[in-house]
Amino acid sequence: MTLLRTVARPMLASMFLYGGTMALRNAPAMAPKVQPLADKVQKVMPSADAVTLARVNAAVHVAAGLSLATGHFPRASALAIAATMPATTATGHQFWKETDPDARRNQTIHFMKNVSMTGGLLLSALDPDPHKKWVGARAKKKVADAGHAIADQVDELRS
């Protein structure tokens, strides 16, 4: 892992570790904000309640955040967190519902911060390890190698 990745991954993960830990500790207090989403999820999964959804989201942030910060499965971890961000952002930072200009500005800042962090997570999910080729390149090489192996066998059969 390069020095830049060694420093950048924990920096990116830090907000998810902190926020996830706080959400785990305060899930019941977060339930009112999560309730509209829980109502929709309950149509598909009746046992889901707002506190449980808040805890699951927080657990994903903590677990994947730790994994990202330590460089274990960084791309999958970044993708897992990124997958939670649309619901987290739309549920937690509804600036369009704020009537107070200061509260609206504050929620807009947090909304845009989450959008920015999601972009960073998506970039991190695509970031190849310098010692390991990107999965698409590895797959392409496997296909090419298989094609060469088949061609070699055909040549052997012809001779």
Q: CB of 51 within 8 A of CB of 24?
A: no
Q: CB of 157 within 8 A of CB of 105?
A: no
Q: Say what the pLDDT of residue 3 is.
A: 84
Give the pair of three-digit tokens for residue 16: 């998810």
Is the four-CA dihedral 116, 17, 132, 138 of positive or negative sign? negative
Res 25 pLDDT > 70: yes
Q: What is the mean pLDDT of residues 17-26?
A: 96
Q: Say what the pLDDT of residue 4 is.
A: 85
Least confident of 6-10, 59-63, 81-85, 127-131: 127-131
In this prediction the pTM is 0.77
DSSP string, 43-68: TT-TT--HHHHHHHHHHHHHHHHHHH
Q: Is the pLDDT higher at 132 or at 157?
A: 157
pLDDT tens digits, 76-103: 999 999 999 999 999 999 999 999 999 9
Q: What are the Cα distances from residue 82, in Å, to 11, 75, 98, 126?
A: 15, 10, 25, 12
Could you count the other beta carbons within 10 Å of the beta carbon of residue 94? Answer: 14
Q: Is the pLDDT higher at 72 or at 128?
A: 72
pLDDT tens digits, 103-156: 999 999 999 999 999 999 999 998 876 566 666 777 888 888 888 889 888 888
